Amino acid sequence: MLIRSTWTLKVAEPTTLPRSYGLELVKQLHQRLGIEMGSEQIPSTTCSGILGNVTASGDFLTFYPEENYQLALCGLQEKASIAIASFELANHALESRLDLLGARFQIVDRVDETTSYETLYHLLVAAEPEPTYRFDLIFTTSTAFSQNRLHLPLPVPALMFHSWLERWNHFAPVYLGSSELIDYLAAAVAISRHKIQTRRVSVHSSKITGFTGEVSLNILSRADPLLTHVANLLINYSQFAGTGMKTRLGMGQTKIKMKEKDDE
């Protein structure tokens, strides 16, 4: 089972949180979900943090009452997904609200998207559908890749596919392949355009520079059909798994907008 739950939040008055609120939010959510942080080789959840129009000043972020905010939580395996499906975000007994570090968010809506690894594999690979050759990806939170002790804030196709494949192979019942598959995908998929910018985020006691924005991926039309289906599968999987490092802590949130034909 895979799930992506998205809550819409509002504040009643201008509200301030420290930039580093994400760690406390994730700790609180996982404690209530019954998932122990740090015990998993690959995290079974991803979290977006609270997304929307905010004003940054120094070490603080301000949220506004006229805006809607979103918080997304994804489960990548059965136990985590079931826990999220039955999870009540509200942490106040009498009101539908989320209290966090002195800030109060009203919960106004929830949308659940569910599927399974078997369903994705059947629809996008086994059924041999007409493949999509272009994907427009939107990275809504800072995205970076860990390389030894360095952080790379660039949308390198090989690193993106490695990130998605690692999670897929760890959680899915269908094994897709190893490093050779990454080499094939990197040779068959290219960035056709992008509009990205770097952004620093606070994680634990440090700051990490990642990229946000839009990236268009093109799959070569002469690519092996099976390879094209696998690329389609992994790109679609990214909307649950996220991309790159620290996805449990709000980094690497990925949205996909598919187009039927290229815009020149």
The pLDDT of residue 261 is above 70: no
The pLDDT of residue 204 is above 80: no
Check residue 147 and give its pLDDT. Answer: 86
**pLDDT, tens only, 26-72:** 999 999 999 988 788 899 999 999 999 999 999 899 999 999 999 99
Q: Which domains does the chain have, with CATH numbers?
A: 2-115 (3.30.70.1890), 119-258 (3.30.70.1900)
Strand arrangement, sheet containing 189-203? 189-203, 206-219, 134-143, 254-258
Quick one: pLDDT band at residue 264, thresholds 50, 70, 90?
Answer: very low
Who wins on pLDDT, 259 or 93? 93
Mean pLDDT of 78-82: 97
Quick one: pLDDT band at residue 244, thresholds 50, 70, 90?
Answer: very high
Quick one: pLDDT band at residue 262, thresholds 50, 70, 90?
Answer: very low
Termini Cα distance of the chain: 38
At 225, list the tokens: 């059909």
CB 213 within 8 A of CB 139: yes
Give the rounded percent of residues in the chain with a pLDDT score beyond 70. Answer: 97
> Tokens 């122990």 label which residue?
36
Quick one: pLDDT band at residue 104, thresholds 50, 70, 90?
Answer: very high
Check residue 259 and give its pLDDT. Answer: 63
At 163, list the tokens: 């990130």
Q: What is the 3-state secondary structure (H, E, C) of the chain?
A: CEEEEEEEEECCCCEEEECCHHHHHHHHHHHHHCCCCCCCCCCCEEEEEEECCCEEECCEEEECCCCCEEEEEEECCHHHHHHHHCCCCCCCCCCCEEEECCEEEEEEEEEEEEECHHHHHHHHHHCCCCCCCEEEEEEEEEECEEECCEEECCCCHHHHHHHHHHHHHHHCCCCCCCHHHHHHHHHHEEEEEEEEEEEEEEECCEEEEEEEEEEEEEECCCCCHHHHHHHHHHHHHHHHHCCCCCHHHCCCCEEEEECCCCCC
Supply the mean pLDDT for the chain. Answer: 94
CB 185 within 8 A of CB 157: yes
CA distance 94 to 229: 48
Q: What are phi and psi of 166, to 5 degrees?
A: -60, -45
